[in-house]
Structure 1
């Protein structure tokens, strides 16, 4: 069924006139969240959950030295750049939702990468006009200007307690002294070996002796240690100007890229107002554009607020959640992009009245076929992003999702810097209405332009209820949105951090019109019922590694959990 913007606005207008099951101010009729009360409490101890135990321990080390959650976030992110480069790093970017305990303020940090000034869409096309997957995913043309270093400087200078150098110290030490790569990193290097071999600096760093590091081998990263030392000493200019910037530009241009020193010098991380939505008495604080995740999560929750999921059998509950996912992803494809470049109808997309209109099109016992755009199949994506969650002793919170996009980013290391560059240019709609590597479609709203931030699925979130709080997020490409959504629903249903992180998952993103399902998510009867409703269930093995911290304020108890799908992860209460 094809909907135009005019139809949607008309539907919204009719609902405004006709009334609905929402309060006069447009908010759902749910119990108010005791936000002021929540802000007045402090847990007295801290918790960190990340996908690698080195990173979790780095965060706890900085907390023990007097740092707060924001200093710890710098330590965790920088350490992940060393020990988990397949998923995030200095050459990538991040998005963070923060909660500051002293005044209850919620903050969003946008350290998303940007397109260089010389970006040319023709560089990403084959002669026949089809997408060139190689230039979009591998090598320097696939790389946006990194945002993570600027984001870490902003996080430390505006919200941290410690000097930046102290927060970066654990990562610098690990890079200099070495660590033993885990099985996942060794596997990622082996899986991208042919790409890494294309560039001498990449091969030298990741293929010592011409092959991936052996199990138990100690691996050092002196070039990245030096890069982080310069960032620690000089802040923003330590990466975006001077020695590091010159090496980055020289390496990129020598390999056929188009970065300039001005691209780097002009990069700025930004603060934006996070999205907030109320659902069943909880306030969900999540990521605004250029993330599509927060808008989609808010839209899905607004649709679901018209149902009592707790009284439904498993198949009916899944049916309504899938249909809400389907509609939110359709809007994701149509409207969203970088807010500095694109006017988006966010008031409409986030309106409970608009959600009520979408709800009217959901049949109680039948799937709605996705037919607005041609069906597009994409290769099954891996989980090449990372997320960590932190609550400190004062109640400050950080939900941070960081990425280099696909496995090992662009596979291109800038010689002399140790920096593995991202391949985030593929997150633009390089060819309108053609899928990217995650199967997501895009419109002109997400077309590349000089200095523009590409749309992201990253969805770091904080969930605040009258008595319980959660800091949550996940990697997973396009499945980030639905995994975080499901985690939020499970938390609101009363589940623990461990239960949330381990929960089986399912995903629908409008196109392709299939429901990706983790083994064990649905029993046979539920699967049969969904199939009879018209759903195509497709098994999927790869899911993100969710990291969750919860705070039971009644018992004043913190809980931290790292996804059991990632054995090297660690959730720890200090």
Structure 2
């Protein structure tokens, strides 16, 4: 039997050591995890996540009468157990909520913040950026976590059950353990070298010195205890012993004896944790084909960039375009919107973000006039000038120097929930890189984030990056794009994805495929993905190659680079007769799981019903 160890009190030491074991499946049994269903249709409520245990945690709360907010926090806390390399107590995220009672969308910015001691040059040595890999695996990259405050605020403000009740499924899951699947095993193996350099991380995630085998059960009693304290006391636990342990771990990372890795100390303080505040922001909003599309405003660039791209696409009538022409327009719109994202989006408490102009129809027309139907814009294109004529459409040319590369880490997770009362949540959360900083807080059961690597380390030679430089208390720019779409004032779609900088393009393409290209939501989620982020090449999944669409777009001048996987969507669609369709990935990241409160038989929509109207 492979075992992990953990820091515990003397009286409970032996029991906790036994509980922390990674337990193999019985001899002769196939090592199988929970069943996964990528599509579920029914009534009364729904949950879709990347993980069956997390989906079940949300469903358990719905079945007991909880609402969509309660279910979202329950599912997110469960993902902190089963998806600890993508999300968790030591990270942050963005929470988008549609209130049926109010008929409006609210958002919470739970992004991590830089320590008060952080300066513009904190990631520089001798005037040069430190190696990115060294920044990732360090205390220097750790921001003040926003997830605890987000969970507490959401439940207190909009939930229907107390926090102690909402956290029960995740506490039980951490105690009893979850079945390790191939994705968890592979992610652990990919991080094994750096995990081994931190004793608490190795004890938890490398039982017996190796990644836990597929089919074994991995338990995390330390996280169960952390969750219990949080359930009783809320985010104020970060002002007590748990917070003290977070600060000590970040400022003096506990590296294994003999490890030769350079692990820089962090700047986080107890005051940074005590001063953290989740921010309720107005959502971004655009009207796309008569639909109201709501997203996350800065500090995230998700809502602004998706919204700007949709506005550019909306200048053309999809009925006049062939499928490959819609795809061409989407790629070009994404290219232009990303140029503006990199130039202008940052934490609005520190940067004057021209959000209203970037999301205006006039500015979209100014940018759209650069797109030619039979040729490709040479990338990287320069951002536009939101101040030129106030976006009056007269200037049909970029005006500034292009931005530099986007280093944002790919690992994040997304979930959606809905309840019987019509409330909806779209929630994206993360610890940044797969495995975050790689540093587990000893005795607490969770990894610390490396979110501060989302800052630009310095202004580039072209002048890009100024909006996203480090600063005390600043939130680094993010690509997370939790989205809710209303049709005729009622919820129609909710979606989002992990994937770092590809999140925006994933959400954009699913929306365009669903609204303009006649696909059903499951088809749009499963379709091969493209990601154009103002680069010379467009990333494309293997299934896209050798298709008529690839041939047509290549003839226009698009150049594609193969990448194994882009994003991992969780989504909901409200159908007729009060039905909800929950959709998760059928294959990406091992496949997700969708569930509804009361199942009903489902038949694919008839011809022509894939479009929004």
The answer to whether the superposition gives a TM-score over 0.5 is yes
CA distance in 2 between counterparts of 1:555 and 1:521 reads 35
- 2:448 aligns with 421
Q: Deviations over 1:97-141 (max 9, x none)?
A: 100111112101111000011124544235471442134211211
- 2:73 aligns with 74
Cα pair 1:397 1:471 within 8 Å, conserved: yes
Pick from 266, 269, 274 the counterpart of residue 260 of structure 1.
269
Residue-pair matches, total = 523
Residue 382 of structure 1, CA deviation: 7.3
Residue 549 of structure 1, CA deviation: 1.0
Cα pair 1:222 1:418 within 8 Å, conserved: yes
- 1:465 aligns with 487
Q: Deviations over 1:340-380 (max 9, x none)?
A: 1111111211110011111111122110112445796789x
- 1:280 aligns with 289
Alignment pair present for 1:389 and 2:416: yes
- 2:27 aligns with none
Residue 275 of structure 1, CA deviation: 0.8
Pick from 508, 532, 541 the counterpart of residue 508 of structure 1.
532
CA distance in 2 between counterparts of 1:378 and 1:332 reads 11
Counterparts in 2 of 1:146-161, with a 5 A limit? Answer: 146-161=145-160
Alignment pair present for 1:543 and 2:542: no
Q: Deviations over 1:175-232 (max 9, x none)?
A: 1121122211111111011111121111111111111112222211111111111110
Pick from 530, 551, 555 the counterpart of residue 577 of structure 2.
555
Counterparts in 2 of 1:51-450, with a 5 A limit? Answer: 51-127=50-126, 129-238=128-237, 240-255=238-253, 256-371=265-380, 372=382, 383-433=410-460, 443-450=465-472
Q: Deviations over 1:249-283 (max 9, x none)?
A: 12222222221110111111111000111111111
Cα pair 2:182 2:590 within 8 Å, conserved: no
Residue 546 of structure 1, CA deviation: 0.3
CA distance in 2 between counterparts of 1:267 and 1:498 reads 39
Cα pair 1:337 1:454 within 8 Å, conserved: yes
- 2:387 aligns with none
CA distance in 1 between counterparts of 2:217 and 2:306 reads 41
CA distance in 2 between counterparts of 1:376 and 1:147 reads 28
Cα pair 1:383 1:542 within 8 Å, conserved: no
RMSD (Å), alpha carbons: 2.0
Residue 533 of structure 1, CA deviation: 2.1
Residue 426 of structure 1, CA deviation: 1.0
CA distance in 1 between counterparts of 2:409 and 2:541 reads 14
Cα pair 2:43 2:579 within 8 Å, conserved: no
- 2:542 aligns with 519
Cα pair 2:409 2:501 within 8 Å, conserved: no
CA distance in 1 between counterparts of 2:410 and 2:457 reads 22
CA distance in 1 between counterparts of 2:557 and 2:565 reads 24
Cα pair 2:93 2:146 within 8 Å, conserved: yes
CA distance in 1 between counterparts of 2:61 and 2:531 reads 37
Residue 301 of structure 1, CA deviation: 1.0
- 1:452 aligns with 474
SS in 2 for 1:364: coil
Alpha carbons of structure 1 residues 376 and 449: separation in structure 2 relative to 1, 3 Å: closer
CA distance in 2 between counterparts of 1:245 and 1:318 reads 48
- 1:27 aligns with none
Pick from 482, 500, 509 the counterpart of residue 505 of structure 2.
482
Cα pair 1:390 1:398 within 8 Å, conserved: yes
CA distance in 1 between counterparts of 2:268 and 2:404 reads 32
Cα pair 1:125 1:132 within 8 Å, conserved: no
SS in 2 for 1:154: helix
Structure 2 length-normalised TM:
0.82
CA distance in 1 between counterparts of 2:357 and 2:546 reads 37
SS in 2 for 1:140: coil
Q: Deviations over 1:11-43 (max 9, x none)?
A: xxxxxxxxxxxxxxxxxxxxxxxxxxxxxxxx9
Unaligned runs of 5+ in 1: 1-42, 436-440
